[in-house]
Amino acid sequence: MISQLEKPLPSTIEEIPSSDPMQQDSLIAKGWEREQYIGICILAIVLIAAVGYFSQRFAYALLFSFTLSIILIVFLLAV
């Protein structure tokens, strides 16, 4: 069993910054925003078309909710 004295205290832990100011993180995709937006728009159009094929009223409700969401997002980002 480890006693309290053997555990490192938060005040004894040091952070050593990297010498490279701009680290290249392979998990972060840079410059892919446009492709993501295009994919999301295509997915939304396919979803509306698939639902609209089965139910016209539900498709109109989805289209209205998407439009209202976009308007609210633009409004809240602009304020």
Q: Is the pLDDT of residue 3 over 90?
A: no
pTM > 0.85: yes or no: no
- What pLDDT was estimated at residue 22? 65
Predicted confidence (pLDDT) per residue in 5-56, tens digit: 666 666 777 777 777 666 676 777 677 788 888 888 899 888 878 877 778 8
Instruction: State the Cα torsion 33-65-49-38 to the nearest 10°.
Output: -10
Residue pair 49/34 in contact (Cβ under 8 Å)? The answer is no
pLDDT digits (tens, 9 = 90+) for 55-72: 888 878 888 988 999 999
